Amino acid sequence: MSEHKPRKSPEKKMPKAFGWMAEYQDENNLLVAARKVRDAGYTKTDAFTPFPVHGIDEALGIKPTVLPFIVLSAGLTGLATALLMQWWMNGVDYKYIISGKPFGITPASIPVAFELTVLFSAFTAFLGMIALNNLPKFSNPVFTNPRFDRATNDRFFLYVEAKDKYYNRESVKELLSGTHPDSLDEVIEDTTPSELPRPIILAALLLVVAGLIPAMIILNMRAGFSTSPRFHVFFDMDFQPKKKAQQPTTIFADSRIMRPQVKGTIGRGQLDEQEPFYLGYDPAKMTAIDNKNLSVFVSTQAAKLPDTSAQTPADGSPQTAPMTTPPAMAPGTPALNLPWTEKLPIDANEETMALGKLKFETYCAACHGYAGFGDGLVHKRADSLAQGYWLRPTSMHIDRVRNQPVGQIFHTITKGQGKMASYAASLNPKERWAVVLYVKALQKSRNADIDDVPVDLRSKLDEVKK
């Protein structure tokens, strides 16, 4: 508190005078004196009181403050900030639906808008008061007189500054003496050394240097390169003690973290898939089949597929395959013995045929070819690249496939076979049946004779030939 703001050369002995300070016991004496000083024309005056004295503004001629207008603009800024923030954050930048509530500025924006208005205004009222008062100011010439300590206790002071344009040392002294002060002192410059004590300077320097360290670290990290992983203050769910699909585990005997469906259970949403329409066979007839086949069926359902999936590569044309036929591919494979649906469960009309053609050409023709000979573009390209290691996609016109019931073809599309993936995700059951219909039509078209053509259309066939 005792340091002084302007630095003075040490040889200057005579302290500078800043003005006169008169002390009063009572606020009324102060008011009377203040009016006198004001009427004498002095403007660089001030009063120091332990509490706000009524009427002192008028007695000294102090003008009202602009603080309310600053606070008003801060409040409006707060309001605008809150509304813009909510509109942009929840309505533009990170828009998501919650309880069907609308986006943008709604009644739900009012509480935050109100709070931010008050927050901005209140801090501006406080900080604005501090700033307009030029605080904090720890050095002040009025502190040099120990009597002044009572300005915050029980005494009232009137101060005329030397900066006033009418200031004259003697006349001001005379004027103030005429107001019957308890004491009258000249305010003089603070002569105590203005330098801060050395330890405080050192401590401040250390603090500044220490404060720079985090900034330097951040700058270094921003500018430099590193191959080590990001430094995590908080892990933010980056590392979680959980297993992901296909990972091994020690919890289960089979070391697999993905658990197969428990035998004899039906998963949520799988109940309607127990119908022939979704399966291609009739599970109700399964009881009639021997237990060995049943176990194969269950394991197929449980995605274990140890046997059936291994057989299927041989469904490609065995004559071109250089690899030996897998041992499980024996005649009379259990999968063939399922109670396949023999009758197409959808109507075989033009519309269904068109749907089947569309889907076949979209999904199947790439490998199987447009005519179903297993000579699609994928085959041609792969065959040229793999040079003999490529297994040709199954032709639909070989006897084995031609003799398959519709249910079995449907099952192949649904579950996949060999290299062929399941198309259950791409085609819904109706579309799959439509594809089955189209496949059956293709097979028929490549193995038909003239008796298959209706009599009245045979003449048309001749026209096509020409």
Partner 1 sequence: MATIASTFNPREIDNTDDIPGRRAPLITGNQTYGSVTDIVCRVAEEPQPMLWYILFGFSSLTAITFLGLIGFLILTGVGIWGNMNPVFWAWPIVNFVFWVGIGHAGTLISAILFLFRQNWRTSINRAAEAMTIFAVICAGIYPGIHVGRAWLAFWLLPYPSLNLWMWPQFRSPLLWDVFAVGTYASVSLVFWYMGMIPDLATYRDRSKSPLRRMVYGVLCLGWTGSARHWLRYEKAYTLLAALAAPLVLSVHTVVSFDFAVSQVAGWHTTIFPPYFVAGAIFSGFAMVVTLLVPLRAIYKLENLITLRHLDNMNKIILATGSLVGLAYATEFFMAWYSQNQYEGFTFMNRAFGPYWWAYWTMVTCNVISPQLFWFKKLRTSTFWMVVISIFVNIGMWFERFVITVTSLSRDFLPSSWGYFRPTLFDGLMFFGSFGVFLSLFLLFCRFLPTIAMSEVKGILSATAHSAHGHDAGHGHDH
Positions touching partner 1 (CB under 8 A) are 1, 27-28, 46-54, 56-57, 60, 62, 64-65, 67-68, 71, 75, 85-86, 89-90, 93-94, 98-99, 101, 106, 108-109, 111-112, 114-116, 118-119, 121-123, 125-126, 128-130, 132-133, 135-140, 142-143, 149-154, 234, 236
Nearest CB to partner 1, comparing residues 51 and 225 = 51
Nearest CB to partner 1, comparing residues 10 and 100 = 100
Q: Which two tokens stand for residue 13?
A: 């002995």
Distance CA 342, CA 404 (A): 9
Distance CA 466, CA 457 (A): 15
Asked if residue 270 lies in contact with residue 335, where contact means CB atoms within 8 angstroms, the answer is no
Which amino acid type is present at position 69?
F
Question: Shortest gap between Cβ of 245 and partner 1 (angstroms)?
Answer: 24
Question: Shortest gap between Cβ of 33 and partner 1 (angstroms)?
Answer: 12
Question: Shortest gap between Cβ of 247 and partner 1 (angstroms)?
Answer: 24
Q: Which among 142, 166, 190 has a CA at the least distance from the CA of 23? A: 142
Question: Shortest gap between Cβ of 300 and partner 1 (angstroms)?
Answer: 38
Is the dihedral angle over the CA atoms 173, 179, 185, 186 positive or is it negative? Answer: negative
Q: Which among 376, 414, 415 has a CA at the least distance from the CA of 394? A: 376
Q: Which residues of 96-125 are buried (b: 16+ CB within 10 A; e: fewer)?
A: eeeeeeeeebeeebeeebeebbeebbeebb
Nearest CB to partner 1, comparing residues 135 and 213 = 135
Nearest CB to partner 1, comparing residues 158 and 364 = 158
Question: Shortest gap between Cβ of 96 and partner 1 (angstroms)?
Answer: 8
Nearest CB to partner 1, comparing residues 146 and 331 = 146
Question: Shortest gap between Cβ of 151 and partner 1 (angstroms)?
Answer: 5
Question: Shortest gap between Cβ of 41 and partner 1 (angstroms)?
Answer: 18
| Nearest 10 degrees: Cα torsion 134, 135, 140, 144 | 150
Neighbours of 211 (CB within 10 A): 9
Nearest CB to partner 1, comparing residues 5 and 400 = 5
Q: How far lies 122's CA from each of 66, 67, 83, 130, 165, in Å?
A: 15, 12, 18, 13, 38
Nearest CB to partner 1, comparing residues 98 and 450 = 98
